[in-house]
Structure formats: structure tokens, C-alpha cells
Structure 1
Amino acid sequence: MEESIVASDEEYLTEEEEQPEQRGIKRKHEDDEDDEREQINQDDEQEGGAQSTSHDNSIVVANHYNKLQEKGLAERFNSKIFYLRNFNNWIKSMLISDYLEKIKDSMQHGSPLRVLDMCCGKGGDLLKWHKGRITYLICTDIAEISIEQCRARYEKITANDPPERKSFQAEFFTADSTRDRLRERYIDPSIELNLVSCQFAFHYCFESPKQAEQMLKNVSECLKIGGYFIGTIPDAKDIMKRQRAAQSDSFGNDVFNIKFLSDPDDLPIFGAKYNFHLDGVVDCPEFLVYFPAFVKLAKRYNLKLIENVRFEDYFQMKIGKGRGLIEKMQAAERFSLNGNRNLSRSNEEEYKHAKDFLLQKGGYENRRKCGTLSASEWEAASLYMTFAFQKVKGPIE
């Protein structure tokens, strides 16, 4: 068996100098590109432990999401991560809205707008698709219970639509997008999609080269030329920076924790496994997405990188346009210099950044309140990044 390719923490951290428009991760040696290509080309049909372990992990992920229970508004509001969840949802809203606008601007009026919501979960983005006035939606997820809840949520959302506003049609099915060919499950296998969205889930496919290949094949196979693939993933580079700073295989705060299950000093391109714990949520195994490998694989399926932006930078880019939506979605907590009785955290240090910001802006005289996340929530939110690819014709250099 050929040796597995590894990327040390320094390699995960090094900037991608050859492609300055990418916020990617560069390997240290030129020869590593050939090694990386070798691993990507492996058909990953190893006997025994590796394959069965990979299958077992899919079961773990499915069971994890099947066990997650719906929570009432009151319980969600009292959670330590209430504003974090809403902030992440705001990021998704802005990303989805932006690319729906791009698609509509480039298509003829009245043309159908078809979307694949890959790893859709319980349907957390259904309202976004509804408000985006799409024509058709395909929802698929590895967890059967999540799909059932997604279908029920769709029926509830569209039940009261007025006759003059025709609701989008939708189909739902359970599948592992990292292993199954989705096209074979579509009602119409010849469907042409304008957009594929995969939110907070693409990283699961980086368990193995074969799974990553299947995921990207599912993205590209029915996506029209000019269509987009968008999503959100943990930023492997930032995770490795934090691991190195902590000098431990585990780091986090009272909101989240990451514990490496692979040696941080000897990380493989695929299968770099860690447990991610979020407040109130059971641990779930995840995998680092080595971004240069992601971009390289995507090129094989005619998917060209358009942008990849860390959440904190994306927030700065979109706050002007999305300020009203932040308030509507309660994606930030109100902090005031005049007293804060209803803050979600009792520790004043959690809001020192907000206090300093207001004081720098003129504080007591000119500006006395702002929207913010607690420091712990912001540490968790800033772990993530957005990405967008476009389907193009012909090979990509």
C-alpha cells in the first residue's frame, strides 16, 4: 500500500502564493503537488479497516443528526449559542441571496430557477428558497428523520401561499451525497440546475478521496454551465493556527471545543479527523478540508473557484446591505454603554470588544449601543468560511 500523504501544521498554515486571489493553504514543496495528485487519483478501495471505518463514520453522522431534537423558541433563546446560530443563518441568507441575484440577472425573465440543497438537514434554508422565488428544489440529506422534518416544514411554509403566487415545487429523498449518485434518485435525471448549495456539511466528504470525488460529481453532474456551487465550511487554516497556539490536540471555550483524532503534526490530505462539540449538541466527527485539494478536485468537474471568504471578512463585506436583516433575524446581541441587564453572558469580559468599539466611536456622546456577539460565540463563528464555484465549459488551468 502506498504511503498516505500528510500535511504538517505548517503546511496547512502556509499561504497560497501561486494563487493570490484564493485564501487557500499552500504545501511547502513543489513535489508535493505530484504526491497530492497521486492520493486524489487513488480509487480508495482498500480492503478491511479503512473502508469499513469510513462507512461506519457515515452511520455515526446520520445517527447524530437523526437524534437531534427540535427545540422550542424559548429553549433556543436561552441557549449560549442563540446569537451564534442566528449569525450563521444570516451569513447563509446573504450568500444565498447574492447568488440567486447573480443567476436571475443572467437568465431570461420567466426561465425556471432550479436548486439542489445538498445535505439540507431539517430544511433550515427553505424560507430562503421561498423568499428567493425559485422554481424547483431538490432536498437530500443522509438523515432520514431530517428529511421527514424538512418535507413537513416545506408543506407548512407553502400551505398558505396565495393563488397568485405559485409556490416552488420540491422533491425530497435520503441519500449519502459522499457515496451515492444523486442523479439516479432525481424524479427527472435530465434536470438542469442553476445552483447547488451545501451549508456546513461539505467537510464530511473529505474523509477520503473517493467520497470527495463523489460529492463533487453530484454537484457538477446536473449543474448548468454558468451555474454556481456555494457553501460554508470550517477554515482548516484557522483551525490549525489555533491548534498550534494552544499547543494541544484540543482547544476551544465554553461554547465550542475541537479535539483532534488525527495527529496534528502528521495530517493527511483526506481523513484529517477531529471531534467538534458545540454547546448543547453531541460531539460529531468532522474532517479538515485541505483547500488546495478541494480546488484541484473541483477543476476536474469544471468548477472554477470564484471566492472563498472567512466569516469575519464576509460580515464586513455584507453588513452595509444586510444590517436590517441582522436585526430582523436577531443575529447580534444589543450591547449598551448605559447598562446591560439582559445580556446572554454574565462575564463582562465577553463584551469588552464591544465596549472598546463604542468608546472608540465617541461612546457616551455619540454612540451608546451596538450589535455584537459574545467573545466566545465570535471565536466559534470565525472558525468558518464561505466558498463559491462556477461551472464553466472546458478544462480549467
Structure 2
Amino acid sequence: MELQSVRTEPVKDGGERKGKSGTKRQHEDDDETSPSKKQATDHSVKVASHYNSLQEVGLAARSRSRIFFMRNFNNWLKSVLIGEILEQVRGEGPQQVSVLDLGCGKGGDLLKWRRGGINHLVCADIAGVSVEQCQSRYEEMKKKSHVNEKIFNAQFITADCTKEVLSEKLDDPELMFDICSCQFVYHYSFESEQKADMMLRNACERLRPGGFFIGTTPDAFELVKRLEASDSLSFGNEVFKVSFQSKGSYPLFGCQYNFSLEDVVNVPEFLVYFPLFEHMAKQYNMRLVSKHRFSEYFEEKVKKEHHRRLMMKMMALEPFPCEEVGQQTADSQQEYCHAREHCGRAGVKLPVVSTWYLCFRKSPDAENKVFFCM
């Protein structure tokens, strides 16, 4: 699919931005807030309601979950990603590092930012209960910190980042970020062009020149491939399920599917057509640094000894065969056929994921450059 070029003007001071792909900002806002439009297409309320209703469980309960290893693997990947990006930021000289966690949830990455030694963090999410829990985790972390340890300052914002301008809610109106992290969140914004654009604006407009936008989002190509190979409108296994409303037609925005995962996630999501996403990011003077599927990222990073040690410490891989009877993630032995075939060499089964690792960087100059690295 060919994408038409779009002439744009930079967004400055909340001003208008025009192009072939959209109308003036004011018209977009009016369209989004009209009662008929909101009632027909707005899934933000469903997303907020879902995550607000999730109960916080303890470590013991999480360790018994069938997605225990998958969660750990995702956390390992994010730890490596965040750690390496912080190294790149600091490689350009000593500085106070500020981070925007866009879609922070309950604060699952707070410890990663603490280990990274950042100075300031802004956490934003649509789910108010999650933001409250994130703030409570932060306060508890500060309380339990060592006497001589300096914990980063933090601000917590409850906002629909697909509709509201975050820069207007910052305690420091002059604050600029070195990193924006958007983990497993951006796909919710692809309900419409206006929402996807606002999410990008919030991610990018307050980045310093040379700053990074990092994140993870489901691989639309893989989801469509599995759907087309299915005899029905869904696919999955005993742990997860993806359901579409139809086959054959996949609009660039608003292509909805429902994703459910082991009593943790059950909410509408939207396909993110990556070439379009990359194209939209150029309008905010971002160039693509790298993009990887989880499997590719794993194969690259696991070559380093310190990453392997961290993986074992975080229990990010499920042992096969399992030491304890009945403790495997899946009941179906078919799920472990590849592990059985290769257990003599590897001895483990990697969690199956279909996700992109992506990293954008704010261009220090005025040109819109895109580097596409596989």
C-alpha cells in the first residue's frame, strides 16, 4: 500500500496542523466530542473501566499464574530496552534525565526507572485507579529506599492521552523529556486518526532534540496472518484468544479486535499498521532508529552475558521439561512440540509472542528523516 506524502507544519503552542490526512485541530476536536461520534466509536471508557476493575494481587498469586513466565519475559525485555536507551542518553554527556511513562498502568516499570537512576518521571494513564496504585507504589518505594539513595521526583496524571494534551497538565510547563516510554499501550489509540495523532503528539512534542520514543505494540501483520489462516474469526489457545469481527478488510484506523489473556486482559484493541505509524511519526520530526519482533530482539540481546544473567534472575524462561508435574503453563502437550524437538539443544520453551519492539529518536535537525533497520 502506498501512502501519500503529507505536508505539515510543526505543532507549536497547541496550534493547528494541516495536511492531506486531516483537517484543522479544532475540527478534529469537535468531531471527537460530538455525542453521536463518541457513542458510536469511543472505546476509551471500556479500556479505563477494564483496567480500573483489575484487582491488585500479590507475588504468590502471580507466581501461580499460567502467564508467569510470559510476564517475566516481557519485563526482562523492557528492562534491557530501558537500560540500553538510558545508556545512549547518558552517552551524550552528564545530564538530568527526565522520562514520560505514557500509559504507566499500575507502575510496573517504576523499579526499572529507579535502577536507571533517572531524575524525574511523569506517569500518565487513562485509568484513575491504576494511576493511584502507581503513585502508592512510588511512595512505598521512597519510604523503603536507603538513607543515601536519591529517588527520582514524580508527577502522576490521570488523562485520556488520545484526547488530552499532556503538556498542559505538567507541573513544570517548561519540562522536556529525554525518553518517552509507551509499553503495550499505543494500539488502543488506533481507534481513529485523531486519537492516534494525539497520542503521538503527547509522546513526541515534549522530547528534547535527540530524545527517544520507545515502546511495544502488537504486530498487525502477524495478527492478520493468523486470522486468515484460521477457519473462524478467532485464534489462540488455552491462555489467550484473539477475535475479529470479520475477515478480508482491514482499515488503517478502527480495525478492532478483542484480545483476552488469562483473566488479566479482556478489552478491545486496534491494529497498528506500522508503515502508517512510521509515516505519522515523521510529522513530529521523528526518525525510526530500529524495529524488532520480540523473538529477534531476544536473539540479539541474549548473546550478552549480563543480559543472560538478568534473564535467569528474572525467571523469564519456562523450563522444559517441567520439574514439577502439573506445573506447565499449558495443559496441551501440542504447545510443547517445538520444545521437545529442541530440548536436547536448548532445554527451554520460549514464550510465544507477536509483538514489535520499536524505537524512535527525535531528530536534532529540522529534517524529517526515517531510518528503517531490521
TM over 0.5: yes
Is 1:286 equivalent to 2:281 in the alignment?
A: no
Other-structure match for 2:349: 372
| 1:395 maps to amino acid | E
| 1:229 maps to amino acid | F
1:1-38 alpha-carbon deviations (Å, 9 max, x no partner) = xxxxxxxxxxxxxxxxxxxxxxxxxx1xx4x5369x74
SS class of match (2:139): helix
Other-structure match for 1:256: 240
Is the 8 Å Cα contact of residues 102 and 181 (structure 2) preserved in structure 1? yes
Q: CA deviation at 1:144?
A: 0.5
SS class of match (1:227): strand
SS class of match (1:217): helix
Is 1:49 equivalent to 2:20 in the alignment?
A: no
SS class of match (2:105): coil
| 1:65 maps to amino acid | Y
Is 1:330 equivalent to 2:307 in the alignment?
A: no
| Greater helix content | 1
Other-structure match for 2:207: 223
SS class of match (1:231): strand
- Gapped regions of structure 2 (runs ≥ 5): 7-18, 370-374
Q: CA deviation at 1:66?
A: 0.1
- Gapped regions of structure 1 (runs ≥ 5): 1-26, 362-368
Q: CA deviation at 1:50?
A: 3.2
Deviates more, 1:348-357 or 1:143-152: 348-357
Q: Write the mapping of 1:386-397 to structure 2, written as runs, cut at 5 A.
A: 386-392=357-363, 393-397=365-369
Deviates more, 1:121-130 or 1:306-315: 306-315
Give the number of the structure with larger relative contact order, counting CA–CA contacts within 8 Å between residues 6 or more apart.
1
1:70-102 alpha-carbon deviations (Å, 9 max, x no partner) = 112222222221111111111111111111111
2:333 to 325, 344, 348: 348
Q: How many residues align?
A: 349
Distance 1:192 1:162 in 2: 28
Other-structure match for 1:78: 64
Distance 1:282 1:166 in 2: 35
Q: CA deviation at 1:340?
A: 5.5
Other-structure match for 2:192: 208
Is the 8 Å Cα contact of residues 190 and 272 (structure 2) preserved in structure 1? yes
1:193-217 alpha-carbon deviations (Å, 9 max, x no partner) = 1000000001111111111111111
Deviates more, 1:81-90 or 1:145-154: 81-90
SS class of match (1:320): coil
2:157 to 166, 173, 180: 173
Q: CA deviation at 1:48?
A: 5.5
| 2:201 maps to amino acid | K
Distance 1:159 1:120 in 2: 21
RMSD of aligned alpha carbons: 2.2
TM-score by length of 2: 0.87
1:240-277 alpha-carbon deviations (Å, 9 max, x no partner) = 1111111432111111111113x331221111111101
Distance 2:121 2:240 in 1: 33
SS class of match (2:151): coil
Other-structure match for 1:310: 293
Is the 8 Å Cα contact of residues 299 and 395 (structure 1) preserved in structure 2? no
TM-score by length of 1: 0.83
Distance 2:167 2:203 in 1: 10
Distance 2:248 2:321 in 1: 44
Distance 1:358 1:309 in 2: 26
Distance 2:299 2:203 in 1: 29
